[in-house]
Amino acid sequence: MISLLLRDLKLSVRAGGGALIGVLFFMTVVAVIPFGVGPDLNLLSRIGPAIVWIGALLSALLGLDRMFQTDREDGSLDLLLMQEHPLVLTVLVKCMAHWLGNGLPLVIASPLLGLFMNMNELAIGATMLTLLVGTPALTFIGAVGAAVAVALPRGGLLVSILVLPLAIPVLIFGVSASYAAVEDPAPFMPPFLILVAITMFFAVLGPVGAALALKNAGD
Amino acid sequence: MKVSDMRLMAENLSARRGQDLIFKDISFNLEVGESLVLTGRNGSGKSTLLRVVAGLLHPETGRVTWHSDAAESGMRAAEACHYLGHRNAMKAELSVFENLSFWKEFFGDFQGRKGVSVGEAADAVGLGGIAHLPFGYLSAGQQRRMAFAKLLVVHRPVWILDEPTAALDVNAEKVFSTLIKAHLAEGGIMLAATHQPLGLEHAKELRMTGFAGVMEDRW
């Protein structure tokens, strides 16, 4: 299982891997906002956490469809399915590798993009923390979509559309926790804990759903 | 050796492609050292039968079972099998060595019997010197040979080979048939779909007929 994690991590940073593409897309989305909105620093810092979260959500969706498709294209998926390891565990490990390769770089890049949006230290810290907790949920939800669409050519957009409705709660609680850290009356912990709960919930449900979809995807 | 009591049994297998039965009521019983060669036109269901035996497709009726002294009850037949499909299940971005060592670790040993090391496997298929190259740099024939080396790094009693000699030169075909004979001599079992003769003297042959044959039987 460790070997699968290491292999997928290696693949995500080698040529054609998704790690850098996701971060670049994230930067593009967030960097153009100040040009579009104009140099109103107060406005930028007010919408900052939301923009950073939306950018992260979109970039997380970008790489999802490749999670199982590359393995299917070269036949590796067949061999993964044949082994005695429980398939749920295999999928969980693939999700973790996918998050480490595609999600974690977004979290690491987010403070830099927070500066673009004129956010203060507290807001940047809160956004980074909520992204750290929330992006795994996006990967786990996305795994189900990626598994359902694994047999479809050019299923990328379909995966995004399938996954987006389920990803909305993550966005809502992620952004509201980030705001709560900055604005005084709103408490930070309730939305943050709900975000943690969403991630843990999908960490269990996502791999089970994805494994079920993969098992029945046989062409 | 105590491998003498292994058997791969298929009972009344039939499978569908779309609406139509592509084959029906296929039964066979393979014991230690035996091999079964599937022949027939393109589209006659050879690959489908192999995928059913490997557990990658659900059969319409019938079942595949694996019997051995050491097998815990309820063990899936697929776990005793190596499957070499049309696609090589190797990553073009990783080196041959990384590919083979990943599969070696991921597959794990089968009932205490170890495979050979990655270097020895590469030597056995005649490509010892180039295991450090990325898999994508190799020619189609070399890729096929390296995919075959995957069968050697981990021991599995049953080899399921789908067109193993596609894209190979005469020399490589000889290497393959030597390796297959060695596997059978050690108490292995092999199923192969092929158009070229593999040079096996005692192979059972199963002629697949596809839709037409099923229809003839019915009328």
Over residues A167-182, the pLDDT tens digits come to 999 999 999 999 998 8
pLDDT for residue B219 = 44
Q: Which two tokens stand for residue B185?
A: 């001599």
pLDDT for residue A218 = 66
Bridge-based pairing state of the strands B7-17 and B61-67 = antiparallel
Angle at A140 between CA A78 and CA A124, to 5 degrees: 140
Q: Which two tokens stand for residue B206?
A: 């199963």
Contact A56/A186 with Cβ under 8 angstroms?
Answer: no
Q: Does B20 touch chain A (CB under 8 A)?
A: no
Considering only residues A39 and B210, tell me which one the structure prediction assigns the higher pLDDT: A39
Which residues of chain B neighbour A78 with C-beta distances below 8 Å?
Answer: 54, 56, 83, 85, 87, 89
CA distance A3 to chain B (A): 6
Q: Which residue has the tokens 């205490």?
A: B112
pLDDT for residue A78 = 87
Q: Does B56 touch chain A (CB under 8 A)?
A: yes
Gap between the Cα atoms of A143 and A8, Å rounded: 14
pLDDT for residue B2 = 47
Gap between the Cα atoms of B3 and B204, Å rounded: 21
Q: Does B51 touch chain A (CB under 8 A)?
A: yes
pLDDT for residue B72 = 61
Whether residue A83 is predicted with pLDDT greater than 60 in this model: the reply is yes
ipTM of the complex: 0.83
Architecture of domain B2-218: 3-Layer(aba) Sandwich (3.40)
Q: Total structural domains in chain A?
A: 1
Residues of chain A with pLDDT > 90, as a percent, come to: 55
Cβ of B89 and A16 within 8 Å?
Answer: no
Q: Does A215 touch chain B (CB under 8 A)?
A: no
pLDDT for residue B112 = 72
CA distance A14 to chain B (A): 7
pLDDT for residue A154 = 78
CB atoms within 10 A of CB B201: 6
pLDDT for residue A193 = 94
Of the pLDDT bands very low, low, confident and very high (cuts 50, 70, 90), residue B1 is: very low
Nearest residue in chain A measured CA to CA from B83:
A79
Top residue of B50, B76, B98, B106 to mutate, by most chain A CBs within 10 Å, is: B106
* Collapsed DSSP state (helix, strand, coil) of residue A187: coil
Q: Which two tokens stand for residue B81?
A: 């099998």
Which pLDDT tens digit goes with each residue over B144-158?
A: 888 888 888 888 888
Domain interval for residue A49: 2-215
Q: Does B58 touch chain A (CB under 8 A)?
A: yes
Residue A141 contacts by C-beta under 8 Å, 6 or more apart in sequence? A163, A166, A167, A170, A202, A206
DSSP states of B79-136 as a string? GGEEEE-SS----TTSBHHHHHHHHHHHH--BTTB----HHHHHHHTT-GGGTTSBGG
Q: Does B78 touch chain A (CB under 8 A)?
A: yes
What's the whole-number mean pLDDT along residues A27-52?
Answer: 91
pLDDT for residue A128 = 94
Residue A127 contacts by C-beta under 8 Å, 6 or more apart in sequence? A48, A49, A52, A53, A110, A114, A119, A178
Cβ of B85 and A78 within 8 Å?
Answer: yes
Q: Does A79 touch chain B (CB under 8 A)?
A: yes
